[in-house]
């Protein structure tokens, strides 16, 4: 297994960023700041649909913002790592380090009308959907300034696990199909993106959601973040078919190099267009990789080799990849990128202090945000049999 793993790693690395780069700046002054970049020819693999164009057109500012967002995200996760090790964040903590390109590339192709639903590896998505760094860190710290303390409602995304809800992997997928149904019912020209992992992909309810979405041609995009492992289990040990983009059967699919933020952007723009134009659901498989363990309590090195992790970091890193492109195409200078890195460090450090300074919420807060006001049941139970709260 190891040798085949090495071969497939080499293949992924070869097609990632070692790609001849052509850059064209548009002549017209109105779009002078828009550049066109060519994706590597192996960025996509299709199942019953055409591939998106390999030519990505984006304003220079957007490309720089993509870099900045990924850098902030990684810093934020590094800060979470530190806060966890200092025993200030307790319980479970799932970091998305290595997977930044998925959240960032998705967001740049969507609007606030589009919805995203995911599970516990959600800090990056929450940031991209408008959550402040302070509110995300404060949530992890269990402080009053945490994002579930009120700001979540305006975020255009749902993270059932983050808000202390559903603990069943994949359970967000049928909820996402429901949100897509609402969009169709209300005649919104928008789509819902439901994210789940390679491990969660084997849940029966994921297939039930596929079925309903296709029957009703919902604007639902199913996005499998294939980071190769579900906790400590390699994808080929849990999935009889690891071509996740083909597992929708009657739903067309697209495999995407999820370590390239531009390929993600292009695929998500394509998926939105596909679903909103009435073609029904689409399945995206983002090939990605998590650098850390499943959660903070998992060192992440017992079921995969250190060499594998190092290989991905050195050859496929999404931040390094975009950095190379920005430099090669003269969109930014090395000094400008350094300034962005420094500013991200300062911003996250400040957010850490703000989050730590936020007090713990009152005990009464335990019983809020469970039911919509006025629809509460007579009582809910707590963790202990004798602990319950009457509304
Ligand atoms: C029904 C169910 N089975 C098992 C678990 C335990 N569990 C939590 S996360 C996880 C792995 C999920 O892996 P994947 O979907 O690949 O997502 P990733 O953590 O890689 O992002 C498992 C098995 C669970 N929460 N729910
Ligand atoms: Mg996984």
* Verdict on whether the full-model pTM lies above 0.75: yes
Tell the residue nearest (CA) to atom 21 of ligand 1.
197
Determine, yes or no, domain membership for 13: yes
Determine, yes or no, domain membership for 96: yes
Determine, yes or no, domain membership for 386: no
- With beta carbons less than 8 A apart as the criterion, state whether 258 and 99 touch: yes
pLDDT value of position 312 = 98
Q: How far apart (Å, rounded) are the C-alpha atoms in residues 11 and 316?
A: 11
CATH at residue 308: 3.40.50.970
Determine, yes or no, domain membership for 388: no
Strands (E), the chain: 23-25, 34-38, 44-47, 55-59, 115-117, 157-158, 192-197, 220-226, 229-230, 233-234, 253-257, 282-287, 379-381, 388-390
Would you say residue 163 has pLDDT above 80?
A: no
Identify the domain containing residue 229 by its residue range: 2-360
Determine, yes or no, domain membership for 378: no
Q: Which atom of ligand 1 is nearest to the CA of 196?
A: 15
Going from the Cα of 198 to the center of ligand 1, the distance in angstroms, rounded, reads 9
The mean predicted confidence, pLDDT, of the chain is: 89
Edge-to-edge strand list for the sheet holding 55-59: 23-25, 34-38, 55-59
Helix (H) or strand (E) holding 382: none
Determine, yes or no, domain membership for 382: no
Q: How far apart (Å, rounded) are the C-alpha atoms in residues 146 and 148?
A: 6
Q: Which atom of ligand 1 is nearest to the CA of 294?
A: 19
Compute, in degrees rounded to 10, the torsion defined by CA atoms 215, 210, 279, 36: 170
Would you say residue 227 has pLDDT above 90?
A: yes
**Measured from the CB, is residue 286 less than 6 Å from ligand 1?**
no
Q: Residue 158 region, left (φ>0) first, then alpha (ψ -120 to 50), else beta?
A: beta
Determine, yes or no, domain membership for 329: yes
- With beta carbons less than 8 A apart as the criterion, state whether 176 and 117 touch: yes
pLDDT value of position 82 = 98
Q: Which atom of ligand 1 is nearest to the CA of 200?
A: 15
pLDDT tens digit sequence for 173-199: 999 999 999 999 999 999 999 999 999
**What's the angle, vertex CA 263, arms to CA 290 and CA 63, rounded to 5?**
95
Determine, yes or no, domain membership for 377: no
* Cβ neighbours of residue 372 closer than 8 Å, sequence gap 6 or more: none
Going from the Cα of 321 to the center of ligand 2, the distance in angstroms, rounded, reads 22
Helix (H, G, I), strand (E, B) or coil at 283: strand
Q: Look at the chain and report how many structural domains it folds into.
A: 1
pLDDT value of position 32 = 58
């Amino acid at each position: 297994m190891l040798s085949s793993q090495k071969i497939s790693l080499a293949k992924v690395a070869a097609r990632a960023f070692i790609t001849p780069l052509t850059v064209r700046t548009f002549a017209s002054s109105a779009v002078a700041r828009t550049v066109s970049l060519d994706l590597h020819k192996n960025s996509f693999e299709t199942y019953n649909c055409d591939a998106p164009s390999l030519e990505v057109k984006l304003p220079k500012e957007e490309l720089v913002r993509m870099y900045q967002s990924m850098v902030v995200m990684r810093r934020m996760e590094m800060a979470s790592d530190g806060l966890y090790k200092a025993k200030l964040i307790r319980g479970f903590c799932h970091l998305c380090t290595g997977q930044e390109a998925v959240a960032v590339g998705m967001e740049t192709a969507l609007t606030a009308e589009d919805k995203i639903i995911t599970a516990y590896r959600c800090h990056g998505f929450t940031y991209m959907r408008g959550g402040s760094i302070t509110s995300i860190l404060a949530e992890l710290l269990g402080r009053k300034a945490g994002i579930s303390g009120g700001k979540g409602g305006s975020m255009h995304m749902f993270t059932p696990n983050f808000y202390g809800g559903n603990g069943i992997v994949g359970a967000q997928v049928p909820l996402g199909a429901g949100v897509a149904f609402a969009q169709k019912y209300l005649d919104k020209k928008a789509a819902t993106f439901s994210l789940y992992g390679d491990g969660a992909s084997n849940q029966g309810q994921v297939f039930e959601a596929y079925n309903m979405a296709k029957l009703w041609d919902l604007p639902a995009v199913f996005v499998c973040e294939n980071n190769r492992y579900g906790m400590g289990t390699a994808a080929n040990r849990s999935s009889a078919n690891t071509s996740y983009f083909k597992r929708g059967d009657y739903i067309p699919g697209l495999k995407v190099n999820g370590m390239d933020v531009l390929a993600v952007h292009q695929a998500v723009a394509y998926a939105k267009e596909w679903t909103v134009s009435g073609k029904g659901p689409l399945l995206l498989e983002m090939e990605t990789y998590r650098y850390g363990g499943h959660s903070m309590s998992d060192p992440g090195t017992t079921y995969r080799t250190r060499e594998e992790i190092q290989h991905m970091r050195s050859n496929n890193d999404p931040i390094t990849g975009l950095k190379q492109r920005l430099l090669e195409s003269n969109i930014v200078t090395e000094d400008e990128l350094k300034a962005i890195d420094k500013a991200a460090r300062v911003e996250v450090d400040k957010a850490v202090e703000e989050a730590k300074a936020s007090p713990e919420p009152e005990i009464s807060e335990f019983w809020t945000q469970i039911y919509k006001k006025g629809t509460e049941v007579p009582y809910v139970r707590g963790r202990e049999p004798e602990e319950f709260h009457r509304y």
